[in-house]
Amino acid sequence: MARRIMHIDLDAFFVSVEQALNPELRGKPVVVGGRPDRRGVVASASYEARAFGLHAGMPLSTACRLCPQATFIEGSFPKYRHASQKFMAILADFSPFLESVSLDEAYLDATGFESIYGSIHQMAIAIKQRIKDELELCASIGIASSKVVAKVASELSKPDGLLEVADGEERSFLAPLPIARLPGIGKKTERILNGLGINTIGEISSMPLDALKSHFGASGELLHRYASGIDDREVKLPGAAKSISRETTFGKDTKDRSQLEATLRYLSERVGSELRQRGKQAKCITLKLRYADFTTITRHHTLRQGNNTDQTIFDTGLQLLRKALPPGNQPVRLIGIGVSNLIEPGRQLDMLDSSAQRLEQLNRAIDRIRKKYGFTAIQTGRTLLLKDIFPETGEGYTLQTPSLSR
Ligand code: TTP
Ligand code: MG
């Protein structure tokens, strides 16, 4: 049986929360992001403001020039978080198969729920109604056999939309749409494709796979699949690990920098590999150290964007290690590295353009080789050192203790 996946996204979320709290703002051009005389960009614009060309990411000064009569609001994050929690609680009442993607966006697997609600379409109407009644917010919902098609459908249906793509119709639904509608296509990819004479999603799906691969590497394949409406990603339930970490206790306490750094590199590769396997990126990296006297410290660093490459995890860990270990420190008993604040890749990021994406592809290639031949089939210069330190062990040095916190 084909899956029925819903993508639910609130319309003009930050602005709509403000309008729900202050009826005077309803039906008017409203912008959340800050006062127009300040630097900064539009975070959210009401649909009335969008009629004047305003959109998220536009400098506030431009927004003010295009629509001086708009009400500009600074915004307050706790209000939006509170509304988001209520929104997710309503969705959870409808199905436990729920994945929240951001504050105002979620996927819900509704496969098999027809018998309860009459049809999935009816279920979506009931969801929209409850959100309207209880939160005074508008949700747009796309329904399809996969995440990617459901997301395109909900965005196309905005505002206050509901659009269901029948099973088997995915490809023909996507085909006439401009390529920018496909999640993951950023400005640069769009330019390259336009340069090749490709303007619609259907034209991407008709391109030979090899041609796409030659322009976009491994991402070309994903692009081809998505453009054809093929996407096996599952709705991931809460309870999936919220953080991933690896740590090791040394056989003998050590002050040796190269041993600490080699171990850190090895643990970073383990964490990176697990992160990629889960299809996530991390925004927070944490180093853990336990000294010989059992004093334990942790140090965090938050990245500007999500990342899942070994290199970034290690480089960040190394910086934290260098700061945390002044010269003359006492010996280290345990070292660990972890990642948290896990996000879905590719929402704000341009999936195909960034150099981080390229590094990720390299990491994935290494993952594949390791899967086939064992983790130590590929070693970086640094982890080779560990062979001398732990010569008796083969694959994996048996030194890491996995810990997945939920
Ligand atoms: P979106 O769902 O992308 O935007 P939206 O809800 O305002 O409008 P719509 O879905 O109807 O197109 O993002 C949700 C919220 O996230 C948005 O209200 C404000 C915030 N946000 C930012 O702070 N900066 C941004 O660049 C974007 C895109 C969103
Ligand atoms: Mg939204």
Q: pLDDT digit string (tens) for 341-396?
A: 888 776 444 555 567 677 777 888 888 877 777 776 666 666 666 655 443 333 33
Q: Is 114 a catalytic residue?
A: no
Distance 42 CA to ligand 1 centre (A): 9
Q: What is the pLDDT of residue 294?
A: 83
- Best of 10, 30, 44, 80 for a ligand 1 pocket test (most atoms within 8 Å of beta carbon): 44
Active-site residue identified among 48, 105, 170, 247:
105
Q: What pTM did the predictor assign?
A: 0.66
Q: Which numbered ligand comes closest to the C-alpha of 44?
A: 1
Decide whether any atom of ligand 1 lies within 6 Å of the 156 Cβ: no
Helix axes 257-277, 310-324, angle to 10 degrees: 140
Q: What is the pLDDT of residue 30?
A: 98
- Nearest-5° angle of CA 249, CA 250, CA 252? 135
Higher pLDDT, 31 or 398: 31
DSSP class of 233:
P
Ligand 1, atom nearest to 15 Cα: 18
Distance 165 CA to ligand 1 centre (A): 24
Find the range with the poorest average confidence among 186-190, 287-291, 386-390.
Answer: 386-390
Count Cβ neighbours within 10 Å for each residue of 242-262 and write b for 16 or more, e otherwise. ebbbbbbebeeebeeeebbbb
**Closest Cα to atom 24 of ligand 1:** 43
Distance 238 CA to ligand 1 centre (A): 23
Distance 139 CA to ligand 2 centre (A): 8
Q: How much of the chain, in percent, has pLDDT values that exceed 70?
A: 88
- Nearest-5° angle of CA 45, CA 51, CA 48? 55
Enumerate the H helices of 255-309 as residue ranges.
257-277
